[in-house]
Amino acid sequence: MTTDATIPARVDASSGDAALDAFIDALPKVELHVHLIGSASVPTVLELARRHPDGGVPTSEEELRAFYRFTDFPHFARVYTAVNALAREPEDVATLVLGLARDLAAQGARYAELQVTPYAHHIVGMPRREVTEALDLAARRAPEEFGVEMAYIFDIPGEYGVEAAEITVGHALEEPPAALVGFGIGGIEQERVHYRDAYRDAFTAARNAGLHSVPHGGEMTGPETIWEVVEAYGAERIGHGIACLQDERLVAHLRETRLPLDVCPTSNVCTGQVARIEDHPLPRLLEEGLFVTLNSDDPPMFDTTLAGEYRTVARVFGLGRGELAELARNGVTASYLPAERKRALLAEIEALEKATA
């Protein structure tokens, strides 16, 4: 997030090349950085808004699309909060997960690691057992109904302190969904320093329980936040991480360790971390030999999709089929899919490249 006064203009995701667009659509993709509430597309929000008409969210498509046209960052924050308030019951949580699976299936995606914030459900009074049951139900139904496998990452909202850390790790360790694979932290990075010890303790407990460490870092602050998550949280993958380029020693460390960065270009523009898509550091990250995956973050709220991110980097930075396929391979490799599923998806990517060469 950012406190900038305005939301920059939307990013045009059209590549202008029909053959390349078809290749992107067919490319087997995984989504490693997407948030549960932020993933709610217009059809999903309409379903929830009509289920809870007292929530203050428009119940007609035309009005909802207007509601999603952000005028400034406070407006974006209000919309996000309003949508979050619609997730009141376990059925709502399952609706959100299955809505994302439906949307990803239409883009050729096969797997997602969805970031869920248990604290958000706790503060509206939803028992964690019910949240877990809803997540389990959705994870079972998503492959059957849409052909998309779902896994979960529980993340701490970093500005909410000790209670948020305790609630999140307690849920993760005591009543986890079956598909829980990771533990993270997001929110306003500048606020996390005040609760550093609590967050370190939470990550230590989660890692000791076998969960992967996938914190946000270096999105809205400098490289010091990335060093923090690497050294104190044992990061195995980093959300965003674009500020690493400010520190040559950090770049060398990330390159040597092959620590993946889950990069979300359109998000970085829409939240004001990057002024224009043309200024995004993705090309330099790749030139430095860093391990980059491509993701959408809060796609409907930023008027993007996972496939749209591939189109955007193709159009803006001139990436061709080989580079796009490599980004897709990186996503599969960096995921926490079982080895057999990784091999199958990597083989599909290779087969598509050969078929379209």
Q: Which residues does the annotation mark as catalytic?
A: 219
Q: Which of 203, 128, 211 is nearest to 171 (CA)?
A: 128
| Sheet (strand 180-186) strand order | 29-35, 109-116, 149-157, 180-186, 212-213
Residue 307 CA to residue 81 CA, distance in Å, equals 26
SS3 content of the chain, % helix, strand, coil (to 5): 55, 15, 30
Please enumerate in sequence order all residues whose Cβ is within 8 A of that of 202, keeping only pairs 6 or more positions apart, or say none: 156, 165, 166, 168, 169, 183
Six token digits for residue 77: 């924050």
- 155 forms beta bridges with 184
Tokens 């952000």, located at residue: 70
